[in-house]
Amino acid sequence: MFWTSGAARAARRIATAAALGGGGLTALGALTYGLLIAEAMVARKIVGRPHGETGPASDGVYGPFPGDAVPGEPISMVMLGDSTAVGLGLTDPADTPAVNIALGLATVAERPVRLHVYGESGAESVHLDGQVDRAIEEGPDIAVVFIGANDVTSATSPARAVRHLQTAVRRLREAGAEVVVGTCPDLGTIRPIAQPLRWVTRRWSRLLAAAQTVAVIEAGGRTVAFADLLGPEFEANPAEMFGPDRYHPSAQGYLQSAYAVLPSVCAALGFWPESEPLRGKGSQLAAMAVEEPGTEVTATRGAGEAVGPPGRRAALLRRRSGPLSNG
């Protein structure tokens, strides 16, 4: 419980600094921040960019399927974020997380899904603004965002990163879209990142994920915790879950991320029953979500409102974790 209570306080401090426009250094302190800046440059050189800058073209309409009745109006889905949102390292669009989520949603909803991918390799949270501009033009029903890893490896102030993410979520919600954010993964599983940077990135990425959760639910979105959902599987089976650069996921790794997010996407649109929630303060549940594989945090309604001031109540929904069968 030490991590949960400590992370709850840290997440709230970061989210509060973001809300106030503060650029407070970090929850980890100036010395650690300087260490991360220096060693992040080394890690970036080690990882390099063996996959280029773009993933496979994935825009299109997915579904209906053979034997379906007359299809309904397509659901509009947009995918925003970084290289994990575009499926960097893959060659077949069918292996990307965006297409797998779209196909899963089309199956559950029994309606086609029109997908547009606006994510960009190397994107940090500050780059979401331009992606949201383009996404809003599509009038999306659902927006899925994978973001956070580059904020850590570029040593971006967590408060700054969270502020940009919250603004993006709020804009999408105001445009009428449901929003599901896959929070920062546990970068401590990345083998090319050596110690002590690996410890630093693990700590930082978990704090950022918790702060992202607080900010996203306050903007009316939902979050899915990636830190432990994918972390143990990647750490135990790196050859299977990582791609050739040992940094970006393999096709199986990307499939796992899609599998984690799909129930939340379907639930947000009313096509999937909600699990029994654990209710509490947003900051506390945010910290728990980082530790609970496959959890989602969403705002609870009070006085007829879905969003409200910092510290309001939220609900943590548990999603089933574990490897996804290809069968």
The angle, 0 to 180 degrees and rounded to 10, between the axes of the packed helices 2-19 and 282-291 is 120
The H or E element containing residue 295 is strand 295-299
Has residue 95 been placed in a domain?
Answer: yes
> What is the percent of the chain where pLDDT is above 90?
35
Q: Which two three-digit tokens encode residue 285?
A: 């549940």
Q: What is the pLDDT of residue 156?
A: 83
**Domains: count for the chain:** 1
Cis peptide leading into residue 140 (ω within 30°): no
Compare 231 and 179 and report the one with higher pLDDT: 179
Has residue 134 been placed in a domain?
Answer: yes
- Predicted confidence (pLDDT) per residue in 118-133, tens digit: 999 989 999 999 999 9
Q: Which range scores top for mean pLDDT: 71-80, 200-209, 236-245?
A: 71-80
Has residue 105 been placed in a domain?
Answer: yes
Has residue 250 been placed in a domain?
Answer: yes
The residues annotated as belonging to the active site are 83, 245, 248
| C-alpha distance from residue 141 to each of 34, 109, 127, 279 (Å) | 41, 13, 21, 26
Has residue 323 been placed in a domain?
Answer: no
Average pLDDT, the chain: 74
Has residue 326 been placed in a domain?
Answer: no
Dihedral sign computed on CA atoms, order 122, 130, 258, 275 = positive
Q: Which range scores top for mean pLDDT: 88-92, 141-145, 190-194, 227-231?
A: 141-145
In angstroms, the CA 5 to CA 113 distance is: 40
Has residue 325 been placed in a domain?
Answer: no
Model confidence at 292, in pLDDT bands (50, 70, 90)?
A: low
Q: What is the pLDDT of residue 303?
A: 39
Has residue 139 been placed in a domain?
Answer: yes
pLDDT at residue 72 above 70?
yes
Dihedral sign computed on CA atoms, order 188, 189, 190, 193 = positive
pLDDT at residue 161 above 80?
yes
In angstroms, the CA 145 to CA 165 distance is: 9
Which range of residues forms the domain containing residue 24?
2-318
- Predicted confidence (pLDDT) per residue in 226-265, tens digit: 766 655 565 556 666 665 666 677 777 888 889 889 999 9
Residues facing residue 249 across a β-bridge: 242
Task: Tell me the CATH number at 199.
Answer: 3.40.50.1110
Whole-prediction pTM value? 0.76
Q: Which two three-digit tokens encode residue 3?
A: 């991590």
